[in-house]
Structure 1
Amino acid sequence: MSYSENDPFSQQSVFVNFNQDFTSLAVGTKTGYRFFALNNVDRLEQIHHSGEQEDIALIERLFNSSLVAFVSLPSSRKLKVCHFKRGKEITNFSYSNAILAVKLNRSRVVVCLEESLYIHNIQDMRVLHTIRDTPANPKGVCALSTASDRGVTYLAYPGSTSMGEIQIFDTENLCAKIMIPAHNSPLAALAFNTNGSLLASASEKGTVIRVFSVTDGTRIYELRRGLKRCATIYSLAFNAESTLLACASNTETVHIFKLDENSASSTASAQPTVGSFQEDAGWMNMFGKALMSGSSYLPFAVSDVFAQGRSFATAKLTFSGIPSVVALSTIDRQCRLLVASTNGFLYVYNVNVEQGGDCSFWRQHNLLEGVSGSETTVGAPTTPSSGGDQIQDASKASPNSPSSANSLRLQDDAEFPPMSHGVE
């Protein structure tokens, strides 16, 4: 989750982003970046501090490895890939336009520009495929699945500027898989579950969240964030078991939905769950409950609204309108909701997975101050002396160009040797 120059919070905002399995948090500031371990809710352990660097616009860490990719605001068209523990730059690429999003998994690096997507092989950073002339995507909305039982991972991105169409692309076989007509309004957020079998989406209207099967595009769950007002959805996140889905928006409420038969899209008249209608106060609350009992007698367009799954649990923030990213993680044998905000704080809530309802606030951590625990501070990444400044133009790279790079040993999280390679 990044900030922009037009964002009213840009003067105090930071970039915040969880890694792929929500075990660490990346924080980008105007002077560098930090990584924090998320294995203790009471004490936030800083595991790395980059030292003085340019203003960080985007940063992605590959699980708990030493591989990190980042973009700075002064060089918004350049992607740097580094071995952060050694302070070594592996390589960097320049693109034709500003980089809006970067996604990593163990086989691919995806770089999102406003009207194109570049898919790199993470082993040697070759450009394998370029998806050109995509519908304008100024917010860089996209998602990359991190794992799959079938050994295939997928990229999801908007297929239209006027409608909420989702294009799903097979990043292993480098071919289009399916198009899903998800919403009537343009897309605002996308998220895969852990094994890449489900995809959650929200539109710019922000009232309904839908979950689809990646296999055939079937709508599995229909979830209603609220009736009272539209919202800007900032972040969606499944838990590891794909039984819960969290949603953060520009409102003061984080919603958590339970993915069960009550929220299944095929259920004609799902009953309200604990925590339902919490955002829809007053007469709308009473009106909604009354209609639920007789929804089968309503016109389809109306009854469909009340057949959608309601939030199972909610967490109340002390602010609104500040971009945040969410995660659902089991820490110390307790389900926790983690909310990392661009105001520089991490908020921790306890989630009652049996009863739902209001999530109890547990801790607040300042991401910009000194923290307890081990800290490894190294200087800014430097280019290997033998390779020179290996800036490459990704727009001119050939998917089949040979590489002289040593392969990255991705299974060894402590070992990512610097490399250099040429592009034809």
Structure 2
Amino acid sequence: MNTRQPISHTAKPTSPKLLCVSFNQDQDCFAIGHENGFRVYSSDPMVERVKRTFNKSSSSSRSGIGHISMLHRTNFLSLVGGGKNPKFPINKVIIYDDLKKKNTLSLEFMSPVLNVFLSRIRIISVVETHVYVYAFSSPPKLIATYETIRNPYGVSDLSNSLSINNDTSPTAPSSSSSLSSSSSLLLSSSSSSPASQSSVNEILAFPGRQPGQLQIVDISPQHQHRNLISIFKAHRSPIRCISLNRQATMVASASETGTIIRVHSISNCSLLYEFRRGLDKAIVYAMKFSPDGTKLAVISDKQTLHVFRLDRHMSSKATGGSASRDSTPSPSTTDSSALSSGNPGAVGATNQDSLNRQHFLRSLPIFTSYFQSQWSFVSLHLSPNPSLTTASSSSTVNSSSKATGIGNSHTAEKFNESINSNSQINDRAALGWSSDDSIILVWKFRGKWEKYVIVKNESTNEWGLEREGWRSFGEFQ
């Protein structure tokens, strides 16, 4: 009698289709790295702009890209090796000039590189216990090194904004570098660099040296010699996710617990908002502010997309003095009291006019801070497979999947009824905004692009999320 275990004939993917996904500074483009090279796409609509394959000559050649960062829409990208056959060492950052099809700069470290950020004047490399800031010049010049708590996921963020200043004109990059003369655009035909009439404000955020600490550093050229640093306690647990708004006035953070999202002012480290994602512990792995800074999108490993509303009045308070800090603030007493008492009564998130959902018992003083929390004004449980409810083609638009606000994601529960065997793999999505009401998700494991739009139902006066389209990346060869 044959007692051998049957061999499963179902092919299960064992590695993600995309090794990495990264949006550019304006989030109008994104780059992906895979086992054979990298590609660049426009965010909305998803259109391939650049395709680079490194293993054309030999199938065994090293070609995997594990991390990629774009410099706006220019021809410069940062590459770090990854995958089964890394193109470059995982402890080395390569600045790649796509116009010349060659490596321009190289930075090597003693440990694997976990994150890289580019600006027109800076290169920031994040390793497990340090953050390195270099001048974007040839050769790169080390400007500062910051020690952090153990940061195995490279949690950090960079925001750069322009302020009009007719008296200053920063160089980007250094005039002694050959990069400035060859920084032609990769995806557009005209440059929009206003260096002659504006100054650059660059804010870098990363974990501090203690669990829950958040460190804010101004690495702008006009402030680098003053070493403006803010360190404050944002959470009790170690920080898992950080996001800066485009205006460089607010920073959002989530801890490893993942139940609370806090938004602080960069200028004085005061607590502006405290949002509740849920009650269960979850890994918040992606957060992004909308371009106008009035919404915050959050994704966790619960595969739920939350969007929180930030009141314009409170958001404007975060702008005061953010570009002209002259001293290093002490740890935020406002946030410390909020952490100890759990009472966000003085926080802007308790605005009665907010679109975010609140508990109906919030006005009673006898209840705990849970009843005073604010939930997302719209949320959606994401489908593990977009094709379950759409056509079987590789691209679909005007999909019918919707979820209303008020947190009712029951309309998306039908996605779970037909989950296949691949659903056991917890996929991760890169998050970006193509407009103030349009969210782009790029899934790494299954290689999917999705677009969700925030819409208002005029008949019920409720807000919701509607999936407007999705598309598959296909095979990378």
**TM-score, with structure 2 as normaliser:** 0.66
1:368 to partner: Cα distance: 3.6
Match of 2:451 among 326, 345, 348: 348
Structure 2 equivalent of residue 308 of structure 1: 373
What does the per-residue CA deviation read over 1:127-176, in whole Å, with 9 as the maximum and x for residues that have no partner? 33242543211111111112153633121111135x21101112123324
Is the counterpart of residue 248 in structure 1 residue 290 in structure 2?
no
1:10 to partner: Cα distance: 3.5
1:346 to partner: Cα distance: 1.1
Asked if 2 retains the 8 angstrom alpha-carbon contact of 1:187 and 1:203, the reply is yes
Indicate how the Cα distance of structure 1 residues 204 and 263 shifts in structure 2: closer, same or farther if over 3 A, else same.
farther
Is the counterpart of residue 30 in structure 1 residue 35 in structure 2?
yes
Give matches, 1:5-404, under 5 Å. 10-40=15-45, 44-52=46-54, 54-73=63-82, 74=86, 75-124=89-138, 126-149=140-163, 151-161=200-210, 163-172=211-220, 173-174=223-224, 175-227=227-279, 229-260=280-311, 266-267=347-348, 269-270=350-351, 276=357, 289-292=359-362, 294-298=363-367, 302=368, 304-319=369-384, 321-330=426-435, 335-343=437-445, 344-352=447-455, 357-369=463-475
Greater RCO, 1 or 2 (C-alpha within 8 Å, sep 6+): 1
Indicate how the Cα distance of structure 1 residues 290 and 193 shifts in structure 2: closer, same or farther if over 3 A, else same.
closer
1:358 to partner: Cα distance: 2.8
Indicate how the Cα distance of structure 1 residues 268 and 339 shifts in structure 2: closer, same or farther if over 3 A, else same.
closer
Count of aligned pairs between the two proteins: 340
List gaps (5 residues or longer) in structure 2: 1-12, 56-62, 164-198, 316-343, 385-422
What does the per-residue CA deviation read over 1:325-355, in whole Å, with 9 as the maximum and x for residues that have no partner? 212222xxx7211111112111111112796
1:192 to partner: Cα distance: 0.8
Indicate how the Cα distance of structure 1 residues 115 and 275 shifts in structure 2: closer, same or farther if over 3 A, else same.
closer
What does the per-residue CA deviation read over 1:296-330, in whole Å, with 9 as the maximum and x for residues that have no partner? 332xxx1x333233201223311373121212222
1:269 to partner: Cα distance: 4.9
1:212 to partner: Cα distance: 0.9
Asked if 2 retains the 8 angstrom alpha-carbon contact of 1:351 and 1:360, the reply is yes
List gaps (5 residues or longer) in structure 1: 1-7, 277-287, 371-376, 378-424
* Equivalent-residue separation in structure 1 for 2:312 and 2:51 (angstroms): 45
* Equivalent-residue separation in structure 2 for 1:261 and 1:309 (angstroms): 16
* Equivalent-residue separation in structure 2 for 1:94 and 1:364 (angstroms): 38
1:270 to partner: Cα distance: 4.8
* Equivalent-residue separation in structure 2 for 1:225 and 1:268 (angstroms): 13
Asked if 1 retains the 8 angstrom alpha-carbon contact of 2:158 and 2:202, the reply is yes
1:14 to partner: Cα distance: 2.6
1:32 to partner: Cα distance: 0.6
What does the per-residue CA deviation read over 1:84-117, in whole Å, with 9 as the maximum and x for residues that have no partner? 1331221212111110100112221100111112
* Equivalent-residue separation in structure 1 for 2:147 and 2:348 (angstroms): 39
Residue range with higher mean Cα deviation, 167-176 or 230-239: 167-176
Indicate how the Cα distance of structure 1 residues 46 and 12 shifts in structure 2: closer, same or farther if over 3 A, else same.
closer
Indicate how the Cα distance of structure 1 residues 289 and 222 shifts in structure 2: closer, same or farther if over 3 A, else same.
closer
Indicate how the Cα distance of structure 1 residues 70 and 312 shifts in structure 2: closer, same or farther if over 3 A, else same.
same
Residue range with higher mean Cα deviation, 25-34 or 121-130: 121-130
What SS does structure 1 have at the residue aligned with 2:200? coil
Identity of aligned residues (%): 26
Asked if 2 retains the 8 angstrom alpha-carbon contact of 1:248 and 1:325, the reply is no
* Equivalent-residue separation in structure 1 for 2:116 and 2:80 (angstroms): 9
Indicate how the Cα distance of structure 1 residues 295 and 64 shifts in structure 2: closer, same or farther if over 3 A, else same.
farther
What SS does structure 2 have at the residue aligned with 1:305? helix
Indicate how the Cα distance of structure 1 residues 157 and 289 shifts in structure 2: closer, same or farther if over 3 A, else same.
closer
What does the per-residue CA deviation read over 1:192-249, in whole Å, with 9 as the maximum and x for residues that have no partner? 111211111111111111111111101111111112x111011110111100010011
* Equivalent-residue separation in structure 1 for 2:121 and 2:114 (angstroms): 20
**TM-score, with structure 1 as normaliser:** 0.74
Indicate how the Cα distance of structure 1 residues 270 and 72 shifts in structure 2: closer, same or farther if over 3 A, else same.
same
